[in-house]
Amino acid sequence: MAGVTLRNIVKRYGDVEAVRGINLDIADEEFVVLVGPSGCGKSTTLRMIAGLEDISDGDIAIDGDVVNDVPPKDRDIAMVFQNYALYPHMTVAENMSFGLRLKRYPKAEIKARVDEAARILDIRELLDRKPKALSGGQRQRVAMGRAIVRNPKVFLFDEPLSNLDAKLRVQMRTEIKKVHLKVRTTTVYVTHDQVEAMTLADRVVVMNHGRIEQIGPPNELYHHPRTRFVAGFIGSPAMNFIPVQLEQASGGLTMRLSDTIAMPVPAARTERYKAHVGQSGLVLGVRPEHITDAQSASGANIVPFDIRLDVIEPMGNETLVYFTLSGETMCGRVSPEAGAADGEPLKLAANLNHMHLIDAKGEVL
Amino acid sequence: MTAAAMASDKSAPTRKVQYGSMSRDRAWALRWSYFFLVIFAAFFLLPPIYMFITSLKTSAEISAATNPWWVYNPTLSNYAELLTKPEYLTFFKNSVIVSVFVVTITMLISIPAAFALSRMRFWGSATLATGVFLTYLVPDTLLFIPMFKMFAVFHEITGIQLLNRWWVLLVVYPTLTVPFCTWIMIGYFASIPKELDEAAIIDGASWFQTLTRIFVPVALPGIIAATIFAFTVSWAQFLYPLAFTTSVDQLVLPVGIITTLIRGDVFAWGQIMTGALLGALPPLIIYAFLMDYYIAGLTAGATKG
């Protein structure tokens, strides 16, 4: 068990910088998820921790020791790959024990560890099978078992659930979390799926264009995103963005969406936003759950407005409504009883207590 | 009543659907396949059949003006004579030894070479891989003269005589088998997902262990295909042994049959055919047992991602 430290990690492929100076401290027993769109450098970062890619610049330390030039096998890590990478000619038990057999562990100890991992993952009855006789979810468990038996300092997961169908993915997500609670090994997990990131992580690291946008616990990222990228990436459906002008009005600030629509800024935020009055390129960010039907929302800073809906998506417990405001497609979440219908008008309400104001550089103010 | 209602519902498709066109298509395809395959099989099977027929005849019957496709007085004397001849058994033994060694040497070189060229990305590995393939394109008919000269020069300098020794073939044959086998193995190794060796490396395997414990077992069909190829090439090779070996006790089967059974203008056809037929047996037996692997090896990478 050990922490992992990344200091100014850079990865260059020729002239292209895939990772541009990453600093990250992962505590012992922590579950950290690297998340971001494809090509953001998250997998490269993970592979550098594993030692499968060289570091162009910076330092990686595992358990306090710099491992820049340490080969993968001496880093005491285990990795789970997207396509499982099980050895096709070995049985499940042989797959799981391969690393231990290479290190010449005593037979009894190997058996004990394999049995223990098989018990944790509930794959005891599969131990004699070959990988081709397993389903996708079972293969994924075996791949995790192969990591667990080694009892490494760090687990590395590279998009382990991407090859599974949606239902199994949700199930395995829970499994991974349970296993982590049992085994308590420091884990770095890479995914492009923000839901996976939110549900699994102690802390989420949002990456974009080879840089870290924000690091924090899931709820902090969700409620206090620091950049427009994080605000838009975390949460599903994504946050609504709409350009606004910030104006000084009698008794406070006003956000002007268009010539006809203006909304007052909550009084509590006047102080924070005052300096940005008249600034160009400001964007208002509101999450879909803060745009609801006017009937079920009232109170301070909840601004009702009439709109004609484009389309609706009934989800059962709620209905997603889509409409156009100042040329932007917006999404709201209303009660199924609100009477929303395709192409029909509806009275909605925006809860500005949870609004975000973003400047032209993409930073949340 | 319900039937009537359903009938009125089915007003849309008025055109009569033609069923069975697929199977008619298939029948025609099969007919043509049989036609060409029979021609093909006949074309390639007639020579061995003729060899077999001739091997059962006496010299007198072979030179007689009778139907060459029929045996009037079948005899096994050719077989008996050949199999009791010490030279023929020596040729057979030489061929077996040379082929087994050549296959072993070839595999020991080309498997690690293919692994290195396909996986251990080093400077110039792609160029080297192409280079290996280009060597295969140079025909042996062009190579044997310079090689002969090289061996002669080697003898002058070191005093070690390589010519007219059966084991010189162990040096010469791999120039034919190694490039091709390396090339097939590169293709086969390339079809093995990269994560497999990465997983092995993280599990603590060295490059050598990754090769022997992961790649060789996973690529076994490809290795068997390459083995069969190497065996066939060295078993059937004629030009090199003809050029590099001359003494009767150093000859391999194909050359031995020609040199001992043709004396001046006297052709012992019955024994030549018998010898060739018996010589064709070992590859035949190997193919029969390993055919499935051979096909799997040659088509791998075509369908698997």
CATH code for the domain in which residue B215 is found: 1.10.3720.10
Examine the domain organization and report whether B70 and B90 are in the same domain: no
Examine the domain organization and report whether B188 and B219 are in the same domain: yes
> Has residue B3 been placed in a domain?
no
Give the residue from B59, B75, B91 where a domain finishes.
B75
* Average pLDDT, rounded, for chain A: 89
| pLDDT exceeds 70 at position B298 | no
CA distance A13 to chain B (A): 15
CB-CB contact of A164 with A196 (8 Å) = no
pLDDT for res B111:
94
Q: Percentage of chain A surpassing pLDDT 90?
A: 46
> Has residue B13 been placed in a domain?
no
- The string of pLDDT tens digits covering residues A34-65 is 999 988 889 999 999 999 999 999 999 998 88
Examine the domain organization and report whether B117 and B60 are in the same domain: no
A87 and B196 in contact by Cβ < 8 A?
yes
Predicted ipTM of the assembly: 0.83
CA distance A198 to chain B (A): 27
> Cα–Cα–Cα angle for B219, B222, B226, nearest 5°?
135
pLDDT for res B16:
61
B204 and A73 in contact by Cβ < 8 A?
yes
pLDDT for res A258:
79
Examine the domain organization and report whether B86 and B200 are in the same domain: yes
Domains contained in chain B, number: 2
B203 and A83 in contact by Cβ < 8 A?
no
CA distance B190 to chain A (A): 15
pLDDT for res B14:
58
Examine the domain organization and report whether B213 and B261 are in the same domain: yes
| pLDDT exceeds 70 at position B21 | no
Examine the domain organization and report whether B30 and B95 are in the same domain: no
B195 and A81 in contact by Cβ < 8 A?
yes
B196 and A85 in contact by Cβ < 8 A?
yes
B210: chain A residues, CB-CB within 8 Å: none
B195: chain A residues, CB-CB within 8 Å: 81-83, 85
Examine the domain organization and report whether B87 and B47 are in the same domain: no
> Has residue B7 been placed in a domain?
no
CB-CB contact of A85 with B193 (8 Å) = yes
Q: Percentage of chain A surpassing pLDDT 70?
A: 100
Q: How far apart are CA A329 and CA A12, in angstroms?
A: 38
Examine the domain organization and report whether B83 and B41 are in the same domain: no
pLDDT for res B59:
84
- The string of pLDDT tens digits covering residues B127-164 is 888 888 888 888 888 888 998 999 999 999 998 888 88
| Of residues B234, B239, B123, B131, the one with CA closest to residue B182 | B131
Chain B contacts to A (CB-CB under 8 A): 193, 195-196, 198-206, 209, 213-214, 217-218, 220
- The string of pLDDT tens digits covering residues A338-352 is 888 899 998 899 988
- The structural domains of chain A, ordered by start, are 4-233 (3.40.50.300), 240-358 (2.40.50.140)
B209: chain A residues, CB-CB within 8 Å: 102
- Structural domain including B43 reads 24-75
pLDDT for res B12:
53
Mean pLDDT confidence for A331-343: 89
pLDDT for res B7:
45
pLDDT for res B8:
46
| pLDDT exceeds 60 at position B303 | no
| pLDDT exceeds 80 at position B171 | yes
B200 and A89 in contact by Cβ < 8 A?
no
Read off the amino acid at residue B107.
M
> Has residue B10 been placed in a domain?
no
Partner residue facing A87 (CB), from B209, B214, B220: B214
> Has residue B4 been placed in a domain?
no
pLDDT for res B294:
66
Give the residue from B57, B75, B93 where a domain finishes.
B75
- The least confident of A227-231, A294-298, B104-108 is A294-298
| pLDDT exceeds 80 at position A254 | yes
pLDDT for res B3:
46
For chain B, report the end-to-end CA distance as a whole number of angstroms.
Answer: 57
> Has residue B230 been placed in a domain?
yes
Partner residue facing B198 (CB), from A85, A98, A146: A85
Alpha-carbon dihedral A59, A61, A67, A68, rounded to 10 degrees: -10
B220: chain A residues, CB-CB within 8 Å: 89
CA distance B114 to chain A (A): 20
| Of residues A166, A306, A329, the one with CA closest to residue A237 | A329
B202 and A79 in contact by Cβ < 8 A?
yes
CB-CB contact of A163 with A82 (8 Å) = yes
pLDDT for res A31:
93
Instruction: For B141-196, give the DSSP string.
Output: HHHHHHHHHHHHHHHHHH----TT-TTHHHHHTHHHHHHHHHHHHHHHHHTS-HHH
Examine the domain organization and report whether B89 and B121 are in the same domain: yes
Q: How far apart are CA A60 and CA A58, in angstroms?
A: 7
| pLDDT exceeds 60 at position B2 | no
How many other CB atoms are found less than 10 A from the CB of residue A326?
Answer: 12
Q: How far apart are CA B286 and CA B235, in angstroms?
A: 12
Give the residue from B9, B44, B75 where a domain finishes.
B75
> Has residue B245 been placed in a domain?
yes
pLDDT for res B17:
59
Mean pLDDT confidence for B98-106: 95
> Has residue B16 been placed in a domain?
no
Give the count of alpha carbons within 13 A of A187, CB side only.
29
Examine the domain organization and report whether B123 and B243 are in the same domain: yes
Examine the domain organization and report whether B67 and B152 are in the same domain: no
Examine the domain organization and report whether B56 and B102 are in the same domain: no
B199: chain A residues, CB-CB within 8 Å: 79, 81, 85, 87, 146
pLDDT for res A99:
92
Residue B249 neighbours by CB under 8 Å, 6+ apart: B87, B90
